[in-house]
Amino acid sequence: LLPISPFYPGLQIVTNALTNVTGLSIFASGMIVINTAGIVFVLSLFLFYEYISGSALVAGIAMMLYMAKPTFFSDTLYHYEDLAMPLMAFVLYAVVQRSSSSKAYHLGLTVAIWLGLAAVVVTHHVTSFMLDLVLIVWTMVFLILKRRTLNPKNRGQEIQGNPGGTALLAIVLTSLWLLYTGAQAVGYLYPTYSSTVSQFLQILAGERETRQFFHDAGGFVEPLWERIAAFAAVALIMLGLPFGLFQIWRRYRANATALMLAIAAFIYPVSQLMRLTSSGVNLGGRLQPYVFGAIALVLAVGITHFWIARAPNWMYRLPLVGLLAIIFIGGWVTGTSPLWNRLPGSYLPYSDQRSIQPESIMAAKWAYSYLGPGHRVIGDQVNTILMATYGGQWVVTPSNDQILVSSIYISPTFDHDVVSTLQQGDVQYIVVDRRLIGVDQTDYSEPLDAGMLAKFDEVQNVNRVFDSGNIILYDVKAISQP
């Protein structure tokens, strides 16, 4: 389903291990793993912020601000990044904790850091790259501060422990895993990065128009209040950054960790510029969980020392609650758009979560119970996901099997090319969803019509083995495996 996922199996390994040990279903085990990871994330990030700032108040405000990231709700789903991010936070906290703890705890914390680094590397590519980058910048800032202490004017300043050893180990582990996996992550991520840069340069050269915000390909426009909230959230963050950066420089200029996060906060404006391009929406979205880790602390420091410290009573602090609410709502709008794609809601084709509904799930469960798992199946995006998860089937896709699955559906007749494609992919079953007839936004090069999907009924030795009204499952083994 996701070609790169098998090369980063950390989440699957942990979930499968829990299932084997406890006997729980894979879904129950997945929920336990993700929720446990969430607890680790919250604790590690809070303690990390508290250690840097020396204030539980700053850490608490930073945690609230981190919840305003656009990916807050999607990051609670079962994605490999949802385990890697908590592991990254744990590693960062363990590094700062080791720098200030007594030697008696160094061995245990060192082992925890090593294991955490290895777990991040085998769990998620982007997180491992971002962790490497954070540790590298952190080390560079530390070395600069260390050099400044050689100046007689700065002697006596306390500089935290050097994270250089951890950075070196992280780079080595990431490089070894890239070599082991044949650098699959590079080929997976590079097209998005290169396309974003190319489109942005075209915009600067006047050869391309900027992307229309909150407009989809079908002409739908988000409600006005949502657009205002989203833009207001970005404006408030941009407005608050200078105050936070000033307070960090004023109070934490000898703190390498705080300065590293201050530097990382400058990525936020860049990530917003990426959204001017079509490809940059994806790339900018990928950066948000990491960038907000820095943004949250910078804003929290500014809020605490510039606003709260100067507010004589609660009446002066009350507007702050409203501003934080706007930032949160704006992040939610940005991360969950478009409006029609949100839950709750009835079935909609090609709408991700709103396309997951009982009829397709029932078809997948039927396939598992009556056909058995492991058959080679094709279908549209949603039904292939359900056939793979609930049905336990092997879904044939262009990325996995290098065949053009869409050609089987859009062909008006069951001709030689269709037969050849079925045989090339060794396809055993075809899933047809009649609700996709006439839908413009499809997985295919053109909308499907009734004739395209009805052609399978006219072929000898192709049999309907399941029909729920909308979902039809055809047995084509006699054609693909003559």
> What pLDDT digit, counting tens, does each position of 116-143 carry?
999 999 999 999 999 999 999 999 999 9
Is position 119 within any domain?
yes
User: 310 versus 244: which is more confidently predicted?
Assistant: 244
Statement to judge: residues 189 and 304 lie in one domain: yes
* Rounded percentage of the chain residues whose pLDDT exceeds 70: 94
pLDDT for 248? 94
> Do 204 and 329 lie in a common domain?
yes
Say yes or no: 288 and 437 in one domain. Answer: no
| One-letter identity of residue 99 | S
**Domains in the chain, number:** 2
Alpha-carbon distances of 212 from 72, 201, 216, 226, 275, rounded to whole Å: 23, 17, 8, 15, 9
The answer to whether 441 and 218 are in contact (CB under 8 A) is yes
Higher-confidence position of 460 and 220: 460
40, part of any domain: yes
pTM comes to 0.86
3-state secondary structure of 406: helix
Domain that holds residue 382: 357-480
| 404 within some domain | yes
Count CB neighbours of 90 within 10 A: 24
366 and 310, same domain (yes or no): no
On whether both 318 and 275 belong to a single domain, the answer is yes
235-244 tens-digit pLDDT:
999 999 999 9
Query: Do 188 and 116 belong together in one domain?
Result: yes
Phi, psi for residue 343 in degrees, rounded to 5? -95, 150
**CA–CA separation, 62 and 413 (whole Å):** 59
Q: Binning pLDDT at 50, 70 and 90, where does residue 360 land?
A: very high
Domain assignment present for residue 102? The answer is: yes
In the numeric block, the tokens 């070196």 are attached to: 168
Residues 148, 284: one domain? Answer: yes
Beta-carbon count within 10 A of 349 CB: 18
Quick one: pLDDT band at residue 343, thresholds 50, 70, 90?
Answer: confident
- DSSP-derived secondary structure letter, 160: P
Whether residue 383 sits in one domain with residue 337: no
Q: Mapping DSSP to helix (H, G, I), strand (E, B) and coil, where does residue 279 land?
A: coil
Q: How far apart are CA 284 and CA 272, in angstroms?
A: 7
Check whether the bond before 242 is cis (ω within 30° of 0): no
